[in-house]
Amino acid sequence: MPWSSDGDNGGSWKPGNPGPWGQGPSKPTPPDLNDWMRRIQNWLARYSPGGGLHVGGIAILVVIGVALWLLSGWYTVGPNEIGLNKVFGAYRGKTTPGLNYNWPYPVGAVSKLGVTDRNAINIGFTTRPDFTHTNASTQVDVAEESLMLTADENIADVKFVVIWQIDPTRPEDFAFNVANPRDTVKAVAESAMREVVGRTQIQRILTAERKNIEPAVQALMQGVLNDYKAGVLILQVQLQSVDPPDEVIAAFRDVTAAQQDQDRLRNVAEAYANKVVPEARGKAAAIIQEAEGYREQTVAEAKGQASRFDQVYAQYKKAPDVTRERMYLETMERVLGGANKVIVDNPGGQGVVPYLPLPDLGEAAKTTTPGAGQ
């Protein structure tokens, strides 16, 4: 209907009119189904006898529709995805990245899962955007998740992060066996952490056992999820903080500092022991070696003297007088060898004049006089 400016309609625009400035309506006009049907009938009339829609034309139309419906079953899977084919809602296999085919809707359906995407779940805290700073977030504690009971009936405030992904070997388990996988992973993580913390004393949690908690929780989580057939792979468990409650945190920090001092002093003592013990062992080994050398020397000398005595005794038995005289002379030689002596070979002692060494006595007096005066 054209634009009208008479008084009956007041110059108003009606649907289907181009408007006074040659512009159509702002909303798109829905397609005219009758017009589409007339075009299809005209197209089929060209190939059907009598110009009407007969069985042949309907068959061609059905074949074209079926062909288009079958072609709609092609789909692509991304490089980080795995496709799960379903036929009438039942799982029929998985497809690799690339171009794949499955029965089109409503017979078939495809679910695509990002098996290489890593997901993180915060337990004990959550992050919220900080509107006072751009691209900043604030951490909000969740006490009902972080407070856990230890083996010695203390309370520990544990915050940690679980990093997981879909198991690329069993993505169908992730898609069909668990209704809400993320909530399941979070519940299993909290339960595993409570079990590990519940069998450990708080002092060990805060100090020595802290490095062993992460792998223990990861192994326990993986075992539980495998029993569930959840199709989830736990990559890492990261402890963010392990602290006592705020009311006693100062006292526990003092205990931790004392424990660290104890470890430091122990390390110093061990270092000193590692220095002193080898030195003592070296000295002991040197003394032992010296004693062994002295023993060998003494034994060798004793054996030599015994061998010499045996040799002398053998010669003595052959010629006792000669051997006795030779032994006497050798003994006197050793005794009188270093003495100032005069030997007079006169059996009667006649002709010997006593002699007093006066010059020697005078020299001795000169050398002793200065010392006596002082």
Q: How large is the average pLDDT for residues 65-94? A: 79
pTM of the model: 0.51
- Other residues' Cβ atoms within 10 Å of the Cβ of residue 244: 22
Confidence of residue 20 (pLDDT cuts 50, 70, 90): very low
Q: Residue ranges of the domains in the chain?
A: 1-27, 33-71, 74-114, 119-244, 248-325
Instruction: Indicate the helix (H) or strand (E) that contains 98.
Output: strand 98-101
Mean pLDDT for the stretch of residues 57-61:
70
Fold for the domain defined by 119-244: Tetrahydropterin Synthase; Chain A (3.30.479)
Q: What is the CA radius of gyration of the chain?
A: 56
Condensed to tens digits (0 to 9), the pLDDT of residues 204-242 reads: 887 777 888 999 999 999 999 999 998 899 999 999 888
Res. 262: pLDDT tops 80: yes
| Integer angstrom CA distances of residue 320 from 214, 314, 328, 332 | 96, 10, 12, 18
At residue 48, the pLDDT reads: 55
State the average pLDDT for the chain.
78
Which whole number is the average pLDDT over 296-309? 91
97, two tokens: 């990245």
The pair of three-digit structure tokens given for residue 314, joined into one six-digit string: 């053998």
Model confidence band, residue 60 (pLDDT cutoffs 50, 70, 90): confident
Distance CA 3, CA 10 (A): 10
Q: Are strands 155-166 and 147-149 parallel, antiparallel or unpaired?
A: antiparallel
pLDDT per residue as tens digits for the range 133-182: 666 678 888 888 888 988 888 888 899 999 999 888 888 888 888 888 89
How many alpha carbons lie under 13 Å from residue 373 in its C-beta half-sphere?
5
For 1, residues 6+ apart whose C-beta sits below 8 A from its C-beta are 14, 16, 17
